[in-house]
Amino acid sequence: MAERGKPERRRRLSRPVVLAAAVALVDREGLAALTMRRLAADLGVEPMALYRYTDGKEGLLDGLVEAFFAEVNERLRTSVERARTDPPSAAEPAWRTELRRVARAVACVVHAHPEVLPVVAVRPLSVPVARRPEPWLQLTEHVFAVLARAGFDDRTALTIYRTFVSWSLGCLLVDKRQLVDNPEEPDPVLRLGLHRLPAADYPRLRALVPRFAEYDDERELTDGLDSLLSRMPEAPLDAFYDRGAS
pLDDT tens, N- to C-terminus, the chain (246 residues): 654 444 445 568 999 999 999 999 999 999 999 999 999 999 999 999 999 999 999 999 999 999 999 999 999 998 875 555 555 555 678 899 999 999 999 999 999 999 999 999 999 888 889 899 999 999 999 999 999 999 999 999 999 999 999 999 988 887 665 667 777 777 777 777 878 888 889 888 778 777 766 667 777 888 899 899 888 888 887 544 444 444
d(CA 242, CA 189): 48
Residue 238: per-residue pLDDT = 59
Q: Which residues contact 13 (CB under 8 A, 6 or more apart)?
A: 43, 45, 49, 50, 52, 53
Residue 245: per-residue pLDDT = 45
- For the chain, the first-to-last Cα distance in angstroms comes to 22
Residue 214: per-residue pLDDT = 67
Task: Please give the residue range of the domain that contains residue 133.
Answer: 91-240
73 assigned to some structural domain: no
Residue 65: per-residue pLDDT = 96
Residue 173: per-residue pLDDT = 85
Q: Model-level pTM?
A: 0.80
62 assigned to some structural domain: no
8 Å CB contact between 105 and 76: yes
8 Å CB contact between 33 and 26: yes
46 assigned to some structural domain: no
8 Å CB contact between 79 and 105: yes
67 assigned to some structural domain: no
Q: How far is CA 13 from CA 8, 18, 29, 31, 44, in A?
A: 11, 7, 22, 22, 10
Residue 4: per-residue pLDDT = 46
72 assigned to some structural domain: no
Q: What is the CATH number of the domain that holds 168?
A: 1.10.357.10
8 Å CB contact between 43 and 21: yes
178 assigned to some structural domain: yes
Number of separate domains in the chain: 1
d(CA 120, CA 113): 11
129 assigned to some structural domain: yes
56 assigned to some structural domain: no
**Percent composition of the chain: helix, strand, coil (DSSP 3-state, to 5):** 70, 0, 30
